[in-house]
Amino acid sequence: MSASQTPILEVQDLVIRYGKRAAPAVEDVSFSIARGETLGLVGESGSGKTTIGRAILGLVPVASGRILFDGRDITEAGPSERRALQGDLRAVFQDPFSSLNPRRPIGDALTEPLRVAGMPRARREQKAREAMAAVGLPEAAMERYPREFSGGQRQRIAIARALVTDPRLVVCDEAVSALDLSTQAQVLNLLAELRAGADLGYLFIAHDMAVVEFLAQRIIVLNRGRIVEEGATSEIIHDPQAHYTKVLMAASPVPDPDEQARRREAWRALKASASAPAA
């Protein structure tokens, strides 16, 4: 396989436990992400999707299995190796406000990873301005503080901070779930536009199938730490095979109140059939 064909990310037989004797939070999970691809990782709270994202970012230890970034095993990467990865592997979380220093202007948050990488001051300030422009915010916003922005604007800032290093993969963990529907659409469109302009991949973690449908080329559905279904987005959305996937589909909100009512009834019926004892 040539370098251009090597997946940007490979997860092989991943097992994660919170405690040596605990049941696996993630069990035997394998997938890959091609360069420039968006993979949707979908499941309810407790399904293990966020745990997988945190393991990829080096924030939780792996019990067994391997994580490869651009062909290199980073499963047990130490602090220095993780620092070297920071430019290529970035993250956008659900609550950007908690990761922004309220006492420092936004410009500092954008230039900090470039300073750590050793980029000259003039160049890193230029890169920060370019990142702000890419997410539709004015250069003057760099002098303002996190509290001066709306939730949607703060998420745009978080995206700008993730992209300022020109990464190859961004882990988006519930990146739009705290936003209203209108702002969600704006941020999703922005992520799609930014992907189109670069060889950029996303691992897009979410609980809402409708959100993932918009951005992802492929979807993996997780339930209780295991993969229950995976495939092309159109196949998963229009012809789900796993009962759990059908439950998630029925739970996705839609703007049409009649369709929403129908989905709510379908969701109740599917949940009831899933919990009914076997004959």
29-48 residue pLDDT tens: 999 999 999 999 999 888 99
Q: Structure tokens of 173?
A: 């963990």
Residues 235 and 177 grouped into a single domain: yes
pLDDT of 278 reads 34
E runs forming strands in the chain: 9-16, 26-33, 38-42, 64-69, 72-73, 89-92, 169-173, 201-206, 218-223, 226-232
Asked if 174 contacts 188 with a C-beta cutoff of 8 angstroms, the reply is: no
Strand order across the 64-69 sheet: 26-33, 9-16, 64-69, 72-73
Is 10 inside a domain boundary?
A: yes
Is 269 inside a domain boundary?
A: no
Q: Structure tokens of 211?
A: 């959100």
Residues 195 and 67 grouped into a single domain: yes
Is 277 inside a domain boundary?
A: no
Residue 231: phi and psi, rounded to 5, are 165, -175
Domain that holds residue 43: 1-88+167-239
E runs forming strands in 35-159: 38-42, 64-69, 72-73, 89-92
- Residue 136 is classified by DSSP as T
Q: Structure tokens of 5?
A: 């064909």
Is 109 inside a domain boundary?
A: yes
Instruction: For strands 218-223 and 38-42, give the pairing.
Output: parallel
Residues 148 and 68 grouped into a single domain: no
- Sequence letter at residue 31: F
Of 145, 166, 187, which residue constitutes the final position of a domain?
166
Of 126, 143, 166, which residue constitutes the final position of a domain?
166
Residues 3 and 136 grouped into a single domain: no
Is 216 inside a domain boundary?
A: yes
Residues 157 and 203 grouped into a single domain: no
Is 248 inside a domain boundary?
A: no
CA–CA distance, 225 with 61 (Å, rounded to integer): 15
Q: Which single residue is written with the structure tokens 């936004």?
A: 106
Residues 8 and 83 grouped into a single domain: yes
In this structure, which long-range contacts are made by residues 234-239, counting pairs with CB atoms below 8 Å and at least 24 apart in sequence? 237/209, 237/213
Could you tell me the CATH number of the domain that includes residue 219? Answer: 3.40.50.300
Torsion of CA 233, 238, 239, 242, to 10 degrees: 70
Is 195 inside a domain boundary?
A: yes
Residues 233 and 172 grouped into a single domain: yes
Residues 188 and 154 grouped into a single domain: no
Q: Structure tokens of 179?
A: 């936003």
Residues 36 and 46 grouped into a single domain: yes
Kindly report the pTM of this predicted structure.
Answer: 0.86
Residues 11 and 137 grouped into a single domain: no
Rounded alpha-carbon distances, angstroms, from residue 149 to 93, 146, 158, 189, 276:
17, 6, 12, 20, 48
Residues 231 and 183 grouped into a single domain: yes
Tally of domains within the chain: 2
Is 259 inside a domain boundary?
A: no
Residues 159 and 122 grouped into a single domain: yes
Name the stretches of the chain with pLDDT < 50: 1-2, 274-279
